[in-house]
Amino acid sequence: MKLDRKPELLSTAPSFLWLVMFVLVPVAIIFAIAFRPALPAGGIGEGWSLDAIRALADPSYPALFARTIFTAAMTTFLCIAASLPVAYAMARLTPAWRSRVLLLVIVPFWTNFVIRVFAWQQILHAQGFVAEALRSIGLLGDNDRLLGNLTAVIIVSVYTYLPFAILPLFAAAEKFDFGLLDAARDLGAKPLRAFFSVFIPGIRQGVITAFLVVFIPMLGSYVVPDMVGGTGTQMIGNKIAQRNFTDRNLPQAAALSGALALLVLAPMFLRRKEKTA
């Protein structure tokens, strides 16, 4: 039989060309525009310039990158730490309960992201009931705020990304052979020891996926630090938006975006290695 490639090309071309045009080319443009001069009026100038790249040497940027990585790492750690027992508990439920609880976990992920963050903004508001309650028992000073700090950013980030961590961990835990835990206990391991030395290594692939689906988008986080954070909790995403919309300096926004893109690629290589190993 003659190998006819026409059907393959016909079914591949629409999505392939679309993605080249609207994903690959735009990402390439980011790196190109980073080498363009900025116009004072807010446009992109002619010719080439290293101004935007040089601006990356700004002394405030190392702290910005460090803060971004720290916030992302802390959120990822807390998400995975909370999701591990959750995935364990879900996998031990009866199948009927399992699908009910799974639905309960997924539903918040379907609700509007901006609205979920807004709900937290109200909860943590200075005149909100949480702040009042904490003040009345003396845990919060009169002038202390619950909003505008790193704790608020991390709590709300964990809230928005937790379902993303639970799902891959649950998928892995569902396939885990729980007989191994009984075996570990029979051999004298304490429950906690069995959990850490048998269960977690057993669902290792799920842990790696959970890490990637939380950590990577968190590196590009913008809404949460913008809404519940303050000037001291700015992340790279906020800086990109500021350069773009406030300073109207597109080349600098592009240079920062290019740096963020390289930062995002790093954990992906980690996964590639994992796959080939």
Site for another protein in 172-231 (CB under 8 A): 185, 191, 212, 216-217, 219-223, 227
Tokens of 232: 């001291």
Contacts of 74 (CB under 8 A, 6+ apart): 154
d(CA 162, CA 69): 18
| Residues 144 to 163 in contact with another protein, rule: CB under 8 A | 159, 162-163
CB contact at 8 A, 243 and 253: yes
Q: To the nearest whole angstrom, how small is the minimum distance from the Cβ of residue 217 to another protein?
A: 5
d(CA 140, CA 37): 49
| Residues 79 to 138 in contact with another protein, rule: CB under 8 A | 82, 85-86, 88-90, 92, 101, 103-108, 110-116, 118-123, 125, 127-129, 132
Compare residues 122 and 197 and give the one whose CB is closer to another protein: 122
If you write DSSP's letter for every residue of 24-76 in order, what string do you get?
Answer: IHHHHHHHHHTTSPBPTTSSB-SS--SHHHHHTT-THHHHHHHHHHHHHHHHH
For another protein, the binding residue among 20, 183, 266, 270 (CB under 8 A) is: 20
Q: How many CB atoms lie within 10 A of CB 197?
A: 12
CB contact at 8 A, 64 and 235: yes
Q: Cα 260 from chain centroid? A: 13
Compare residues 17 and 66 and give the one whose CB is closer to another protein: 17
Q: To the nearest whole angstrom, how small is the minimum distance from the Cβ of residue 219 to another protein?
A: 6
For another protein, the binding residue among 78, 80, 207, 253 (CB under 8 A) is: 253
| Residues 28 to 67 in contact with another protein, rule: CB under 8 A | 29-30, 33, 44
Q: Is 26 in the site for another protein (CB under 8 A)?
A: yes
| Residues 233 to 252 in contact with another protein, rule: CB under 8 A | 237, 240-241, 244, 250
Q: To the nearest whole angstrom, how small is the minimum distance from the Cβ of residue 62 to another protein?
A: 20
Count of residues engaged in binding another protein, rule: CB under 8 A: 79
